[in-house]
Every structure is written in C-alpha cells, then in structure tokens.
C-alpha cells in the first residue's frame, strides 16, 4: 500500500465517521467462518498470541505497541472472534463483547490501523457471522453504537473497496461491501456496484497465470472462501451472482482439490501454514462443482497421489520482487503425507511468531530440498521504503524450472530440474520421484550436475577459488514433530514411526553420509515454534556431478483397513 493510498483511506474514514446514519441487520447469517475451540479457550484463560506478540491478561490489547503488521491485521480484522464463538461459553461471549466495545470506543471515529478496506471488510464479515454472539445481552445503548459503527464501515467500503490492492485485499473489501448490502438495512444500493467490481476482480484473477502472485496456496483458499461467502450472501438476498463469479468458483475448486494433501491440509510453501482447520473442506462442500483436475500441476505445484499417500512438489520459479515478502527459496522441495499424518514437511512460515523469525523458514535448507554448501537456490535481499521496516525479498532465483509428470503402470513419476545453482556453481538440480501404485513406497533420485561447457567452466572457477576444496551437496528431509525416528547407521536405514502406528523405512545409498540435525516447525496457534529433527544426506561433488539416491517404504506391519483413528 502506497503512502498516498493509506493517507486517502484515513481521510475518508475520518469524514465518514462524522456521519450520524445508522443501520441494523435485516437478515441473519450462519457463522460461516471456522474457529478453533482450543484457541478460544486459551484466550479466555489469558493466553493470547497474535503473530508472535504475547498479550498478557492484564494488558489493554488496543493500547499494545508493536510495528508487526500481521499482529494488527489479526487484531483489527476480528478473526479471533471465530475462536471465541467456536468455544461458545458465557465467558467467551463476555470476552468478545469487551474487546468489541473497547474497539468501538477507541476506533469508531476513523482512527487507527484498522481503517483499511481489507481489514474493514474482514471485520464487517466477522461481525455479521457472529452477530448474535456479539450482541446477545447488550444494552440498548451499546447496540445502537454497534449499528452506527456498522453503517460507517459500510459507507467507508463503498468509497474505498475498489481502491485497495488487487488480489486478496480487494476480495476481502468487496465481500464486506456485499455483506453490508445483503444483510444491513438501507444498504441495498451497495450490492450492484459491489457485484460488478467482484466480477471484474474475478476476471483479472482467472487471466493470471498463477492466480495469485505469491503462489501461497492458503491465499488462494481464502479468495475461494470469500467467493463462496459472497455467493451465499447474494442468494440470501435473492440476488444472482455474476456468471464470472460462479465460473471462478468452478475453476478454483479443482485447483484447490489438487493442492489438498490427504490430511485435508495444504502445502507449507510461500507463507502457507498448511493447517486450514476444515476451511478447505467446508468451502469445497459449498461449491457446486465436483470436478477433479485432470492436470497433476496447479499454480506451480506438482502432485503425486496414490492410495492414502500424497506428495506435493514446488515445481515453479519463486515469486520475485518487492511483493515477494513471504516467498520461499523452495524450488523442487517436496512434502509427503500418509493418510492423516505428515511425514516430510517444511519448517513453515516463521512470520507466525513475529518478524524476527519471518525469514527462518524461507531458506532452501528449511525445506525438503537439495542445496550446495548451505546456499539458497534463490537470492534474498533486504527491501524497505521510507518509514518501513526492511524485509527480505527474493530478487533472483531459478528461471528455468522444468517438470513432467507421467504414469507408468500406476506408478506416479515426477521429473523436474531447475537452474538455481547455475550462476553460483554451474550446477543444475535434477529430481526424480516415483510413488508406487499402492502408495506404500517413494523412490527418489537427486542429481546435481554441470551440463553445458559454460556450466563446467563456472564450476571450475568456483573450485579454483575455493582452493579445490570439495563441494558438498546436501539433501534435507524435515520430519514432522509427531514422527519418531530410530537410526540404524550400520545398515543405512532410518525407521520413522507415525502416531497412527505406521512405520516407514528410509534407506539411502552406501556412498552417502547421513546426519541427524535439529530443526524447527512453525505451526499456527502455538505460543512458540516446535522442535523437530531433520535428516541430511550429503555427498561430495566429483567430476561435475553427483547422485543422491534414497527411498521411503512403509513397513507392512499394520492393518491399513483400520485407518487413522487417533
């Protein structure tokens, strides 16, 4: 958001909040947004963590001082009401109402970080979803103040929704305006311009090669969810969604089905935390489309899936430029899930725990990827404008990323390559993954090789610069914290035990060296990252190339018909 746009938002918010018009709900909607009961219980108990900022029970949350943008987005967007409503207790309602009334007392006059179109839209939707929860038992005075605030926010959105940033922010603003038109008295005039603007935004979205610039699968899910909410709201008010709106839902549904792991989560790349708490399944169930994608790739991700096992690979160049503040150097990294249990995963988004950790999960060695001497496959650099905290963005990375998925008598095969290390070392990474028809084995081969003569000269140059020291190629395998491992270095085997009783055997070539190292796992809703382990296979690079072969096979000592019950 530019300085001029932010200033204009504040100007309109200040003017509109001088108005005396009011409104009230003429229709009530179901609470369509999903929260976590555990998170709601923690909030009531005074254990609050928003984007790494821990709020003590005695703190006045609206006076909390921090420059963390994700904290303000979480707080002023009122997402936390979902968690309290999921708990649904008297204490949870009282907690939510206290925070709501404190916000209205402090910010109802158009001041504060919450007066952006996207946050206003998000907040208005949550107020609509949980109207009874937020207003039950309130005095007449507080209810009038609530309705006055709704009217002001609806008018603000009518002026600024279309002016906010393209993509998810604009969708959030527009769905808020549609909700205002559909559910609030005397706001019907906003429905038509909002639906026209939403159709234009859908048209722009579907003409984009990767749907969203960030390639964040959770962002795609959030847009899809917003389109579902907008469709249901319009139907509640006997309005027909535009053809473009419905076609976008039809096109996004199979994309998300293809990004869905067998545990109903999403891949943890480019800012996605993977854990979507039923949001994906709920949104897909509300979509009339039951189409399954005929393509094995979606928005730059490739998928192998057989039986109850899924493997998703980041198989496209990363986002580059000043907007790539959450992009990962994860080209050709993969994740693997068996049933409801994740085996190999990524560290995930460190921004969940504040800006100090935001870059920790974005490095190549924070993923199940291959790298050279701890070097990233993409180049990061600090970027920040005036009055802004510098953030790391990707300024250069793999440009030629090749991929192909085939099926060999039921065996899913992924073959890919990227040039992320050509500039630095003259080396191309080639990865091949084969998932068996029954989903009980994954065989892999990673090759780091200098292909062309110019690449070999670059490799020789680097070797000479390093005084002919051996170049070390490493393959990382980050284990989910729930996986228990046991090493058998004598036989080059590692057993991986899952909580559902499954045991997988990881084996590797005799010419490789195995290391067990600590790693970190960032999960949404926790107060601190979880410690875990990662396997590192390393090999010396000789004569312009080296090969790392490994496999993962499920031990057949469990009745798979029982399923994952615990």
Q: What is the DSSP string of 380-430?
A: EEEE--TTS--EEEEEE----EEEEEEEETTEEEEEEEEEEEHHHHSEEEE
145's tokens: 């103040």
User: Does the residue 98 lie in any domain?
Assistant: yes
User: Which pLDDT score is estimated for 145?
Assistant: 95
The DSSP bridge pattern shows strands 401-408 and 503-508 to be unpaired
Q: Integer distance in angstroms from the first to the last C-alpha of the chain?
A: 45
Q: How far apart are the C-alpha atoms of 451 and 444, rounded to whole Å?
A: 20
3-state secondary structure of 101: helix
Instruction: Count other C-beta atoms under 10 Å from residue 296's C-beta.
Output: 20
Q: How far apart are the C-alpha atoms of 137 and 153, rounded to whole Å?
A: 23
Cα 506 off chain centre by: 28
> Is residue 470 scored above 50 in pLDDT?
yes
Residue of 3 and 82 predicted with greater confidence: 82
Q: How far apart are the C-alpha atoms of 49 and 526, rounded to whole Å?
A: 8
> Is residue 373 scored above 90 in pLDDT?
no
Tell me the pLDDT band of 68, cut-offs 50, 70 and 90. confident
List CB contacts of 406: < 8 A, sequence separation 6 or more.
413, 415
> b vs e for 410-433, b when ≥16 Cβ sit within 10 Å of the residue's Cβ?
ebbebbbbbbbbbebbbbbbbbbb
pTM of the predicted model as reported, rounded to 2 decimal places: 0.94
> Is residue 6 scored above 50 in pLDDT?
yes
Q: How far apart are the C-alpha atoms of 352 and 52, rounded to whole Å?
A: 6
SS3 content of the chain, % helix, strand, coil (to 5): 40, 25, 35
User: Which pLDDT score is estimated for 566?
Assistant: 45
User: Does the residue 70 lie in any domain?
Assistant: yes
Q: At what angle do helices 69-76 and 117-129 cross, to 10 degrees?
A: 40
- 266-294 pLDDT, tens digit per residue, is 999 999 998 887 889 888 888 876 666 55
- 487-515 pLDDT, tens digit per residue, is 987 888 999 999 999 999 999 998 899 99
3-state secondary structure of 192: helix
Residue of 543 and 136 predicted with greater confidence: 136
User: Does the residue 349 lie in any domain?
Assistant: no
Tell me the pLDDT band of 403, cut-offs 50, 70 and 90. very high
Most confident among 46-50, 129-133, 458-462 (mean pLDDT): 129-133
Q: How far apart are the C-alpha atoms of 233 and 410, rounded to whole Å?
A: 43
547's tokens: 């090969």
User: Does the residue 338 lie in any domain?
Assistant: no
Residue of 25 and 383 predicted with greater confidence: 25
Mean pLDDT value across the chain: 91
User: Does the residue 331 lie in any domain?
Assistant: no
User: Does the residue 9 lie in any domain?
Assistant: yes
User: Which pLDDT score is estimated for 207?
Assistant: 85
Least confident of 218-222, 288-292, 339-343: 288-292
Least confident of 114-123, 317-326, 332-341: 317-326
Q: Are 66 and 388 in contact (CB under 8 A)?
A: no
List CB contacts of 63: < 8 A, sequence separation 6 or more.
none
3-state secondary structure of 471: strand
Instruction: Name the strands in the sheet holding 411-421, side by side, starting at the edge strand that comes first in the sequence.
Output: 401-408, 411-421, 427-435, 441-449, 545-554, 503-508, 493-497, 484-488
3-state secondary structure of 479: strand
Provide the domain limits for residue 116: 1-165
User: Does the residue 323 lie in any domain?
Assistant: no
> Is residue 203 scored above 90 in pLDDT?
yes
Number of folded domains in the chain? 1
> Is residue 63 scored above 90 in pLDDT?
no
Side-chain half-sphere exposure of 249, counting CA atoms within 13 A: 23
User: What is the mean predicted confidence (pLDDT) over 385-389?
Assistant: 60
> Is residue 563 scored above 80 in pLDDT?
no
> Is residue 538 scored above 50 in pLDDT?
yes
Q: How far apart are the C-alpha atoms of 2 and 419, rounded to whole Å?
A: 34
State which H helix or E strand residue 250 sits in.
helix 243-259
List CB contacts of 122: < 8 A, sequence separation 6 or more.
77, 78, 79, 172, 176
Most confident among 44-58, 189-203, 282-296 (mean pLDDT): 189-203
User: Does the residue 287 lie in any domain?
Assistant: no
For 217, phi and psi rounded to 5 degrees? Answer: -65, -30
State which H helix or E strand residue 225 sits in.
helix 217-236
Least confident of 33-47, 86-100, 124-138, 274-288: 274-288
User: Which pLDDT score is estimated for 82?
Assistant: 96
> Is residue 34 scored above 90 in pLDDT?
no
User: What is the mean predicted confidence (pLDDT) over 437-445?
Assistant: 96
With CA atoms as reference, report the closest residue to 522 among 286, 265, 272.
272
Tell me the pLDDT band of 558, cut-offs 50, 70 and 90. low
């Amino acid at each position: 958001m530019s300085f001029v746009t932010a200033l204009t938002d504040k100007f309109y918010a200040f003017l509109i909040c001088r108005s005396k018009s009011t409104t009230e709900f003429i229709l009530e909607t179901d609470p369509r947004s999903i929260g976590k009961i555990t998170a709601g219980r923690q909030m009531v108990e005074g254990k609050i963590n928003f984007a790494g900022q821990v709020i003590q029970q005695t703190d006045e949350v609206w006076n909390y001082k921090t420059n963390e943008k994700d904290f303000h987005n979480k707080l002023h967007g009122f997402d936390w009401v979902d968690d309290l409503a999921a708990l649904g207790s008297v204490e949870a309602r009282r907690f939510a109402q206290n925070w709501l009334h404190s916000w209205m007392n402090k910010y109802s006059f158009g001041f504060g970080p919450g007066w952006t179109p996207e946050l206003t839209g998000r907040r208005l939707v949550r107020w609509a979803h949980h109207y009874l929860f937020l207003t039950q038992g309130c005095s007449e005075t507080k209810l009038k103040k609530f309705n006055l605030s709704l009217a002001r926010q609806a008018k603000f959105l009518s002026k600024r929704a279309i002016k906010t940033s393209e993509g998810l922010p604009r969708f959030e603003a527009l769905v808020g305006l549609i909700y205002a038109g559909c559910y609030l008295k005397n706001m019907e005039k906003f429905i038509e311009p909002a639906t026209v603007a939403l159709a234009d935004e859908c048209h722009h979205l579907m003409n984009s090669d990767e749907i969203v610039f960030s390639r964040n699968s959770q962002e795609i899910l959030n847009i899809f969810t917003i389109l579902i909410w907008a469709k249901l709201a319009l139907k509640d008010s006997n309005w027909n969604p535009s053809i473009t709106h419905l076609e976008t839902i039809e096109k996004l549904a199979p994309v998300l089905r293809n990004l869905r792991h067998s545990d109903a989560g999403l891949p943890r790349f480019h800012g996605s935390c993977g854990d979507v708490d039923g949001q994906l399944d709920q949104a897909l169930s509300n979509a009339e489309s039951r189409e399954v994608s005929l393509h094995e790739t979606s928005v730059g991700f490739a998928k192998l899936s057989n039986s109850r096992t899924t493997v998703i690979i980041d198989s496209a160049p990363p986002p580059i430029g000043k907007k790539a503040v959450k992009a990962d150097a994860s080209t050709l990294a993969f994740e693997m899930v068996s049933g409801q249990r994740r085996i190999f995963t990524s560290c995930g988004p460190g921004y969940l725990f504040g800006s100090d950790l935001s870059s920790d999960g974005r490095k190549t060695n924070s993923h199940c990827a291959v790298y050279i001497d701890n070097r990233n496959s993409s180049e990061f650099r600090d970027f920040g404008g005036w009055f802004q905290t510098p953030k790391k963005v990707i300024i250069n990375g793999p440009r030629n990323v090749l991929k192909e998925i085939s099926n060999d008598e039921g065996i899913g095969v992924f073959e890919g390559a990227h040039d992320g290390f050509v500039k630095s070392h003259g080396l191309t990474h080639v990865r091949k993954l084969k998932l068996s028809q029954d989903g009980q084995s994954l065989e892999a081969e990673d090759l780091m090789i200098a292909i062309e003569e110019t690449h070999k000269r670059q490799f020789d140059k680097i070797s000479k610069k390093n005084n002919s020291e051996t170049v070390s190629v490493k393959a990382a395998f980050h284990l989910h914290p729930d996986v228990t491992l046991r090493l058998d270095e004598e036989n080059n085997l590692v057993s991986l035990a899952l909580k559902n009783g499954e045991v997988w055997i990881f084996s590797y070539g005799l010419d490789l060296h195995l290391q067990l190292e600590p790693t970190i796992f960032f999960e949404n809703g926790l107060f601190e990252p979880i410690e875990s382990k990662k396997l590192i296979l390393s090999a010396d690079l000789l004569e312009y190339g080296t090969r790392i072969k490994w496999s993962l096979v499920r031990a057949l000592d469990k009745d798979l018909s029982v399923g994952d019950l615990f």
